[in-house]
Amino acid sequence: MDKIILIGAGGHAKSVAEVINYASEPLMVEGIIDPDRSDDPYWKTIDYLGRDDDFTDLEGRNVHIGVGMIKNLRLRESIYKAYKQKNANFPIIISKHAFVSTSANINEGSIVMHQGFVNTGAQIGVNCILNTKSTIEHDVILGDHCHTGPGSTINADCKIGNNVFISSNATINRGITIGDNCIIGAGSVVTKDIEDNSLVFGVPAKFQRKIK
């Protein structure tokens, strides 16, 4: 059974650990890397391996970024790049309770969580989170370092940029293009294309402000 190190020890990392326990390919959590040792009882049986700076080389070792992107759209990307420089491996993690089409393509470091659905021809970038019950319909292109929240739906033929956070239960209508570094508010319905660096929400979703 392959071992994998989790980067981060927050709530999302706990959810990732649960998916790893039910992954389609056998995995087990080797330990966690975090700025501080967590006092959360959840981690009491999992080794604390140290801080990011304690590791200069991780060649041949598997890692997964257990940090979401609700507060910082570019944090996952920066962590990914830092650990690529440490020569870490980034396995793809797919819950055995998820569906992924054999014609879909999922890139390194991405995770499909419980009851996630990735349909035929979908293209998923590196280091993405497809959270619980999120749906990626056919021929969607999802960029790198994206996070689709629980219950969200991206309908067919959409093109989503890099560093995009699609919040819980949001729906992206068919054929929509969303630029880089965008946030789609929870429960929103996106009916029009969205420019880079935009915060939108509502039904239908409306532009609120630019994201710096």
Per-residue pLDDT for 25 more than 80? no
Full-model pTM? 0.95
Please provide residue 198's backbone torsions phi and psi, each rounded to the nearest 5 degrees: -115, 140
Kindly calculate the radius of gyration of the chain based on its CA atoms and give it in whole angstroms: 17
Copy the structure tokens of residue 75: 């944090």
Q: Which domains does the chain have, with CATH numbers?
A: 2-85 (3.40.50), 93-210 (2.160.10.10)
Question: What band does 71 get if pLDDT is binned at 50, 70 and 90?
Answer: confident
Q: Are 118 and 100 in contact (CB under 8 A)?
A: yes
- DSSP for 109-146? T-EE-TT-EE-TT-EE-TT-EE-TT-EE-TT-EE-TT-
Per-residue pLDDT for 124 more than 80? yes
Give the amino acid at 112.
V
Instruction: Report how far residue 65's alpha carbon sits from residue 33's, in angstroms, rounded to the nearest whole number.
Output: 10
Here the contacts of 138-143 (C-beta below 8 Å, separation 24 or greater) are 138/101, 143/180
Comparing 22-26, 143-147, 149-153, 188-192, the range with the smallest average pLDDT is 22-26
